């Protein structure tokens, strides 16, 4: 039984790494993809995980599989595709560490996962299944995602969702909103950014957006607020959980590390997701904020995921 399984994109983040002696921009190859980032965060925090997805039969796909295996993420659900190249993302950083993306994904191997390729044994033996919306952009991965959610739900798993909107991967904002909203009613836990509130609900106010999402079935909604922390919303009400202030080097993976921490704290609590209180959700978010505060001080996403000891030190120092 896995603690958390994630399905979705596994890709290379080519991250801005300064200039060469000849004045040309340099990019550093980092393993990435939001669902995979969440899993490595959880592994570093002591939880068992598995990945379901697809990469190409190429040097980048081999590197990504090796990276997950080196981080003890089970890869029995990771398919290698001989016909499509591993997706690449080029990440430019501004002076504050914020990012802009350019993707090579027309199509990328991650969009080509088929329902019949799903590892059902993994999906039927996990406490949590986590997905994003990038696997909903194209067929056949869209159908595979919906099938995986049904398999895991029927086996009693908690369903977790982070839309992780990337405008350049959708034909339009309207198309993105339609697909991103299509799975909300299946979910138990939803994490969105403040910028995604309108796409998910037509509400710009985070609290109103979260309440609309709660009305569709999820038990807890978390709205991340960048450097200001996160807002947790349950049927009891809403609460803002402040961040731990640090000097960020690279915000790649910040939200994923936060969510890995949140899921870790949920699993550690042993509590049923249906009975979570506002205090519970705020406690989980504080742990997630501590994880994220460490991640953003490193470079890349997966390489910067912190250990549990480091997270506990942050929490103790800010008790």
DSSP 48: -
User: Which H/E stretch holds residue 140?
Assistant: none
Q: Indicate the helix (H) or strand (E) that contains 67.
A: helix 59-70
* DSSP H/E element including 278: helix 278-295
> With contact defined as beta carbons under 8 Å apart, do 263 and 127 qualify?
no
- Is 273 within 8 Å of 5 (Cβ atoms)? no
Comparing C-alpha atoms, which of 224, 223, 226, 199 is closest to residue 211? 223
Q: Is 137 exposed, middle or buried (0-12, 13-18, 19+ CB in 10 A)?
A: buried
Residue 232: the pLDDT is 98
What confidence score (pLDDT) does residue 92 get? 77
DSSP H or E stretch at residue 78: strand 74-81
Predicted pLDDT of residue 18: 87
Q: Quote the CA–CA distance of 168 and 292 in Å, as a whole number.
A: 25
The predicted structure's pLDDT at residue 226: 84
| pLDDT reported for residue 126 | 98
From residue 171, how far is each of 112, 137, 175, 177 by CA, in Å?
A: 18, 9, 6, 11
Whole-model pTM: value is: 0.94
Dist. CA 297–CA 258, nearest whole Å: 13
Closest alpha carbon to 30 in 306, 254, 304: 304
Domains in the chain (CATH in brackets) are 2-9+33-84+106-317 (3.40.1190.20)
The bridge status of strand 220-224 relative to strand 189-193 is: parallel
For residue 140, cis peptide bond before it (omega within 30 degrees of 0): yes
**Which pLDDT tens digits describe the chain residue by residue (319 residues)?**
999 999 999 999 898 888 999 999 898 898 989 999 999 999 999 999 999 999 999 999 999 999 999 999 999 999 999 999 999 988 777 776 666 788 999 899 999 999 999 999 999 999 999 999 999 999 999 999 999 999 999 999 999 999 999 998 999 999 999 999 999 999 999 999 999 999 999 999 999 999 999 999 999 999 999 888 999 999 999 999 999 988 888 777 899 999 999 999 999 999 999 999 999 999 999 999 999 999 999 877 888 999 999 999 999 999 8
Give pLDDT, residue 97: 61
DSSP E strand boundaries for the chain: 2-7, 11-19, 25-32, 49-56, 74-81, 88-93, 99-104, 126-132, 158-162, 189-193, 220-224, 230-234, 237-241
For helices 278-295 and 308-317, the axis angle rounded to 10 degrees is 110
The single-letter DSSP state of residue 306 is: P
């Amino acid at each position: 039984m896995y603690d958390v399984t994630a399905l979705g994109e596994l890709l290379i983040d080519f991250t801005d790494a300064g200039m060469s002696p000849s004045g040309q921009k340099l990019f550093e190859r980092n393993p990435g993809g939001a669902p995979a980032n969440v899993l490595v965060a959880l592994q570093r925090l002591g939880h068992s995980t598995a990945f379901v997805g697809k990469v190409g039969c190429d040097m980048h796909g081999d590197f990504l599989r090796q990276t997950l295996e080196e981080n003890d993420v089970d890869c029995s659900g990771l398919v290698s595709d001989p016909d499509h190249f591993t997706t690449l993302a080029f990440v430019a950083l501004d002076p504050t560490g914020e990012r802009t993306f350019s993707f090579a994904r027309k199509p990328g191997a991650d969009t080509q996962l088929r329902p019949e390729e799903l590892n059902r044994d993994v999906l039927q033996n996990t406490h949590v299944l986590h997905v994003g919306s990038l696997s909903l952009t194209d067929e056949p991965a869209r159908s595979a995602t919906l099938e995986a959610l049904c398999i895991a739900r029927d086996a009693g798993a908690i369903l977790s969702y982070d839309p992780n909107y990337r405008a350049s991967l959708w034909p339009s904002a309207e198309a993105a909103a339609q697909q991103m909203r299509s799975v909300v009613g299946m979910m138990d836990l939803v994490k969105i950014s403040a910028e995604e509130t309108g796409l998910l609900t037509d509400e710009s106010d985070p609290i109103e957006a979260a309440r609309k999402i709660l009305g569709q079935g999820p038990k807890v909604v978390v709205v991340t607020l960048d450097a200001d922390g996160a807002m947790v919303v349950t049927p009891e009400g809403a609460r803002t959980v402040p961040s731990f202030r640090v000097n960020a080097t690279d915000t790649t993976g910040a939200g994923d590390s936060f969510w890995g921490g949140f899921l870790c704290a949920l699993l550690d609590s042993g509590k049923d997701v249906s009975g979570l209180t506002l205090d519970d959700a705020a406690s989980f978010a504080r742990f997630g904020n501590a994880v994220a505060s460490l991640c953003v001080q490193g470079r890349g996403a997966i390489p910067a995921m912190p250990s549990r000891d480091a997270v506990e030190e942050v929490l103790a120092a800010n008790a």
